[in-house]
Amino acid sequence: MTAASAPFVPARRVRRIKESPSSAAAARVRELKAQGREILDLTVGEPDFDTPENVKQEGIRAIQDGETKYTPVNGTPRLREAIRERMLRTSGVRYEDAQITVGGGGKQVIYLTFTASLDEGDEVIVPAPYWVSYPDMVRANDGTPVIVETRAADRYKLTPDALREAIGPRTKWLVLNAPSNPTGTLYSREELQALGAVLEEAPHVRVLTDEIYDEIVFGDERAVGLAEAAPAIRDRVLTVNGVSKSYAMTGWRLGYAVGDPDVIRAINLLQSQTSSCPSSITQAAAAEALTGDQGFVAESVAVYRERRDRAVALLGEIEGLAPVRPDGAFYLFVDCSGLIGRTTPAGAVLENDQDVTLFLLEHAGVAVIQGSAYGAEPCFRMSFATDLDTIEAGVRAIGAAAAELR
């Protein structure tokens, strides 16, 4: 007879965070599908395209040629050169080896950045709406997220005045994500310069710019990063990117960051004691993605643009909904305040955006994610990283369900 074990109690850092809302939504969709329900899933945060053939073949070649060993912590020389070349091509800024780190996806790089830099009580400014993981990654690393609300009238972009007001003596980082998940909005060069001017007044604040969607842009102008637009604060900007979104490589897991050598050194030290290095095979494929034929990017962006335009047009016909037309990425952030307070056919009152998303899921068979998960309500996020037929069917089902509300 064995002695009873004490119950497992997770560490405080784990108890401070919550499950990703997108993961929870995906789990609910799977449950309903297992019950035989037909669900139109508009929650997906990854491209529905396959990885480009030249990239896949480079991964296969790496396996066949025996490139299956440990690599340097900050990546193979070939990958570092590819990152350097890519950053020079897109931003005009040249980074040296000591300014480059690579990891198992942009998400890991961001997490290690906070692990490497935050002490208890340090603050990180996170404009809302935000990618759901930012605040919890800050909390998990003993920091305090300072959520700054933005306005639909400003296209949900952080303004200089709001930034200035949010900065305090314990502010360690500002997080900027553009094009944004969930809104798809993009900052102009002038808007970034105005934010940079505020940051010049606060030399203790660093900026983590998450540019993972920077190739998925729908206008004639390319995305401009803060490090390019505001050279006076460039040494305080850590630019994070990766291959997941632009090259449909979410499962390959490769992200990178460029910036201050002291920050990079701390991240690489942590990397050396966690995963050692990203997959050598993925590094070979990522180098090909960054430097090889870029035709896939242009072709996929054209498809995303068509889907965006169709979804915006259809949503605009639904009374009570107001979508934000995104500049990039593959999401629509939809104001659903016009549905709040209305009554479902079953007699329930929609009191918040979670009620709206549950109504759409259960009544219309359409899965979207509530805006409160992103720090902004009453809204919901829908993805157009799926085929046009699914998008059209999903939005029409949303419209039919909304029409039944009283």
Which string of DSSP letters, residue by residue, matches 59-102?
Answer: HHHHHHTT--S---TT--HHHHHHHHHHHHHHHS----GGGEEE
- What pLDDT sits at residue 190? 98
Query: What's the pTM value of the predicted model, to 2 decimals?
Result: 0.95
Rounded Cα–Cα distance for residues 215 and 129 (Å): 21
Q: Give the Å distances, CA to CA, from 90 to 14, 86, 93, 225, 314.
A: 38, 6, 8, 9, 34
pLDDT of residue 365: 95
Is 225 a member of any domain?
yes
Pair (255, 304) in one structural domain:
no
- Look-up: residue for tokens 């060993």? 69
* List of residues 6+ apart from 285 with CB closer than 8 A: 51, 55, 56, 58, 59, 62, 243, 249, 252, 254
CA atoms within 13 A on the CB side of 279: 14
- Where a domain ends, among 268, 291, 314? 291
Tell me how far apart the alpha carbons of residues 347 and 68 are, in angstroms, rounded to a whole number.
Answer: 60
> Is the CB of residue 128 less than 8 Å from the CB of residue 375?
yes
Same domain, 91 and 143: yes
pLDDT digits (tens, 9 = 90+) for 233-246: 999 999 999 999 99
Q: Is residue 55 part of a domain?
A: no
Which two three-digit tokens encode residue 153? 């009238």
- In angstroms, rounded to a whole number, what is the distance separating the alpha carbons of residues 228 and 234? 8
Among 32-36, 69-73, 98-102, 142-146, the least confident range = 32-36
Question: Does residue 390 belong to any structural domain of this protein?
Answer: yes
Is 245 in the same domain as 362? Answer: no
Q: How sure is the predictor about 1, in pLDDT bands with cuts at 50, 70 and 90?
A: low
Instruction: Specify the number of domains making up the chain.
Output: 2
The C-alpha atoms of residue 249 and residue 8 are separated, in whole angstroms, by 36
- Residue 374 structural domain: 12-50+296-403
Give the pLDDT confidence of 357-400 residue by residue, as tens digits. 999 999 999 999 999 999 999 999 999 999 999 999 999 999 99
Residue 60 lies in a domain: no
